[in-house]
Amino acid sequence: MSMPGAEAATAPVRASVVVVDDHAVFRSGVKAELAGAVDVIGEAADVASAVEVIQRRPPDVVLLDVHLPGGGGVEVLRQVHSAQPEVKFLALSVSDAAEDVVGVIRAGARGYVTKTVTGAELVEAITRVASGDAVFSPRLAGFVLDAFAGDPGAMPTSGDPDLDRLSPREREVLRLIARGYTYREVARELVLSVKTIETHVSNVLRKLQLSNRNELTRWAAARRLV
Amino acid sequence: MSEPLAPPRMRRPYQGRVLAGVAAGLSEHLQVSVSTVRVAFALLSLLGGLGVFLYAGLWITTPAGVPDPPRPPGLEAASRQNRRSTAEASALGRPQPGLLVALALIGIGMVMLVDRLVDTPGGAVWPLAVVTVGAGIVWRQAESREASRAAIIARVVAGVALVALGLVLFLAGRGELSELLDALVAVLVILAGAAIVAGPWLVRLVRDLQLERAERVRSQERADMAAHLHDSVLQTLAVIQRQADDPEAVARMARSQERDLRRWLYDEPDPAPNQVRAALAAVAADVEDAFGTPVEVVVVGDAELTPGGTVEAVVAAVREAVTNAAKHSAANRIDVYAEIADATMDVFVRDRGVGFDLAAVGVDRMGVRGSIVERVERHGGTASVTSTPGTGTEVHLSARLDRP
């Protein structure tokens, strides 16, 4: 999985991280990879313990497995996200299924990577999420383009019609990300600053989380979402 | 585990049956032609309806279906997941309407014949025929394996109504209709009493049956899982151990196994094979296996591959482009992005490899011209290659779709 956000990354402070995954082998592997780059201050293997660990000592970023005993990663987001919006979530999964990806994003995660990312890519994704930006993999960009495909249609269902469509610029940015471009490469291609690209991606993330767009709902339902 | 060899039992097959499969089953059991059996039943029916009773008796006592010979769990699992072709048709053999009409006419004719020939008390033949038809409908319904709830209810109600109608006709013919009402009340009282006594027990019986069925499905799924793991993962682990000193081969196998498991666990069970999505996934899988370079495919929209059509040409060109990238770029990943709109298809193949100077090397040397550019241009599309030494190469294929 490529990390378009990957080249950013001069972190002023080391991010504190909680690793939530029910596979102990994976947790220890991630901890080893992250050692030296971020501070892993806690770990958990299921929803209940994850909520407890996060509430006891809120980290900058939670690495959240999508499939988790006790209701899945979405359940952790549900219990923690609204009470502690300052804690950022980066979702991790072995599955690329649309319902997993869009499900956790809509529940509040600020990014999504598959478990096959390299250690360096993961560190940079964490840094990016910690600084408030969104992390879109090519696959997530593809999902979003798919979900927001075509004309928004005659029936926008949100109060704010801007939520229901992507701007041409946002579409352009997502297309480049889907083609495997990093944020920096996207910026160079469109002759924009990296900061502007980050803003566009964050806006797309917001739309993905808030839109009730007719097509989005139908698209998600077709993939057994919602 | 293997069961002792049981004597052959008669079964009523789903295939080749006209009514309930009794004649077909009997013919198979006795090794005589099915027509002979049917004629025999028809002739016997003339002897005061003996054939009909015989048929009904065998219908009740003979189990339906074809006995399944035990199979290895892997094959069993594959069959259940619909990954193998199975000889046994799942649908109840549907008799043709003409056949049913003929059967009905023969039945009516026979009833009239018996009515004429045999001296039955009080015209009992017609009511009896109605009862028989009604019972037939209900019995046949009882073993139908797939029908909507509404259809089941409709058939059972129709069958019961016919049986009741036959009984009423019979009693009315004998002038005993008023006594019927008394008898009916008595029967209802007895039924109600039985329901009160046996109700809870029956409910529990049904619930136990459902639980047992669910448990069986679960254990079958577990068996499927075990079979799959044994098939693929253990094999891969065995090979990986043998080639542990070749990191490239190990990585390739791990990747291939990961792809396989991912598909098995999370993908739609039956992706349409002739769609762009599936075709590009196959391209990625082939290149990964051949060169060991991971290929990430992202597809937006979808379209069908028609033999000799534009989409197929583009997919073939993508295969060439991805293969080129894997062979020459030395990149550690190749990104494929396909976007299919109503009338256009765009595919980007990108690597972050060594790249090359287009002016210096010439497109021809990379085998790009014939296999990629011309292939797409023949179908009215365009192909462009951008490459910079040191940063990688991107191939952009674009075509108009020739779909209605």
pLDDT, greater one: B83 or B163: B163
Say if CB B318 and CB B280 are below 8 A apart.
yes
In a 3-state reduction of DSSP, which class is residue A31? helix
Contact A26, A67 (CB under 8 A): no
Contact B337 A179 (CB under 8 A): yes
d(CA B232, CA B226): 10
Give the closest-approach CA distance of A59 to chain B in angstroms: 31
The span from the CA of A176 to the CA of A142, in Å, is 10
Report pLDDT for A50.
Answer: 93
In A, which residues are within 8 Å of B350 by CB distance?
A: 179-181
Helix, strand, coil percentages (3-state) for chain B, rounded to 5, are 60, 10, 30
Residue A74, phi then psi, degrees to nearest 5 = -55, -35
Distance CA B284, CA B290 (A): 10
The pLDDT of residue A57 is 92
Element (H, E) at B11: none
Q: By mean pLDDT, which of A7-21, B13-27, B81-95 is the weakest?
A: B81-95
- pLDDT at res. B97: 65
Instruction: Tell me which of B249 and A181 has the higher pLDDT.
Output: A181
pLDDT at B92 over 60: no
Task: Please answer yes or no on whether A2 and B335 come within 8 Å at the CB atom.
Answer: yes
CA separation (Å) from A94 to A64, A97, B217, B265? Answer: 12, 9, 26, 10
pLDDT per position as a tens digit, B253-275 = 888 888 777 777 666 555 567 78
- The vertex-B190 CA angle with B184 and B193, nearest 5°, equals 140
What residues of chain A lie within 8 A of the CB of B348, using their CB? 179
Nearest to A143 by CA among B271, B350, B337, B300: B300
CA distance A109 to B186: 69
Q: Which residue of B has its CA nearest to A147?
A: B300
Q: What is the ipTM of this complex?
A: 0.78
What integer is the mean pLDDT of B330-335? Answer: 88
A57 vs B172, which has greater pLDDT? A57
Residues in chain A closer than 8 A to B266 (CB atoms) = 95-97
pLDDT of residue B342: 81
- The answer to whether the beta carbons of residues A147 and A221 sit under 8 Å apart is no
Q: Which two tokens stand for residue A41?
A: 């201050």
B345 strand-pairing partners: B340, B399
From residue A170, how far is each of A182, B288, B289, B403 by CA, in Å? Answer: 15, 32, 35, 29
Q: Do A141 and B298 touch (CB under 8 A)?
A: yes
Higher pLDDT, B241 or B141: B241
Q: Is the pLDDT of residue B48 over 60?
A: yes
Residue among A97, A128, A136 nearest A223 (CA) = A97
Confidence of residue B4 (pLDDT cuts 50, 70, 90): very low
Contact B399, B344 (CB under 8 A): yes
Q: Which residues in chain B are contacts of A178 at CB distance < 8 A?
A: 298, 300, 337, 339
Give backbone dihedrals phi and psi of B347, rounded to 5 degrees, phi first: -130, 135
Residues 6+ apart with CB under 8 A from B235: none
What is the model's pLDDT at position B91?
Answer: 37
Q: Find chain B residues with C-beta within 8 A of A146's C-beta.
A: 300-301
Residue with token string 């058939």: B155
* pLDDT tens digits for range A163-215: 777 888 999 999 999 998 988 899 999 999 999 999 999 999 888 888 766 55
**Cα angle at B205 between B200 and B207, to 5 degrees?**
95
Q: Determine contact: B17 vs chain A, CB below 8 A.
A: no
Closest CA to B271 of B220, B305, B225: B305
DSSP of B139-176: HHHHH-SS--HHHHHHHHHHHHHHHHHHHHHHHHHTT-
- Helix or strand or coil: residue B10? coil
Cα A33–chain centre separation: 20
CB contact under 8 A, A139 and B298: yes
Write down the H helix ranges in A57-153.
73-80, 98-107, 119-130, 138-147
B341 contacts on A by Cβ (under 8 Å): 149-150
Residue A58 is classified by DSSP as -
Cα Dmax for chain B: 109
**HSE (CB half, 13 Å, CA atoms) of A89?**
31
Interchain contact, B300 vs A116, CB within 8 Å: no
Partner residue facing A96 (CB), from B266, B341, B350? B266
The secondary structure of A164-195 as a DSSP string is GS--HHHHHHHHHHHTT--HHHHHHHHT--HH
B343/A contact by beta carbon, under 8 A? no
Residue A9's pLDDT is 45
Q: How far apart are CA A130 and CA A13, in angstroms?
A: 10
CB A54 within 8 A of CB A17: no
Distance CA A80, CA A48 (A): 11
pLDDT tens per residue, range A6-53: 444 444 568 899 999 888 888 888 888 888 889 999 999 988 999 999
Q: Rounded CA gap, A21 and A34, in Å? A: 15
d(CA B328, CA B330): 6
Q: How far apart are CA A178 and CA B20, in angstroms?
A: 59
- pLDDT, tens only, B181-215: 787 888 888 888 888 888 888 888 888 888 888 88
pLDDT at A220: 57
> Which residues contact residue A186 at a Cβ distance below 8 angstroms, ignoring those fewer than 6 apart?
A4, A173, A176, A177, A192, A197
| Lowest mean pLDDT segment, chosen from A49-53, B237-241, B400-404 | B400-404
Residue B244 has pLDDT above 60, yes or no: yes
Partner residue opposite A97 with nearest CB, options B266, B301, B337: B266
Q: Which residues contact B28 (CB under 8 A, 6 or more apart)?
A: B10, B11, B13
Report pLDDT digits (tens) over A75-114.
Answer: 899 899 888 889 999 998 876 667 677 888 888 899 998 8
User: What is the distance between the terminal CA atoms of chain B, rounded to a whole angstrom?
Assistant: 58
Contacts of B187 (CB under 8 A, 6+ apart): none
Give the pLDDT confidence score for residue B127 in this predicted structure: 77
Per the CB < 8 Å rule, is A138 touching B348?
A: no
The DSSP bridge partners found for residue A112 are A91
**Distance separating alpha carbons of residues B228 and B263, to the nearest angstrom:** 12
Percent of residues, chain B, with pLDDT higher than 90: 7
**Residue (of B120, B110, B156) closest to B137 by Cα position:** B156
In whole angstroms, what is the distance from residue A69 CA to residue B371 CA?
50
Q: Say if residues B276 and B338 touch (Cβ distance below 8 Å).
A: yes
Instruction: Extract the tokens encoding A14.
Output: 């080391």
For B369, counting Cβ atoms within 10 Å of its Cβ (0-12 exposed, 13-18 middle, 19+ buried), the class is middle
Q: Name the percent of chain B lying above pLDDT 70.
A: 78
Give the lowest-confidence range in A144-158, B164-178, B194-208, B363-377: A144-158
Q: How far is CA A181 from the centre of its chain?
A: 17
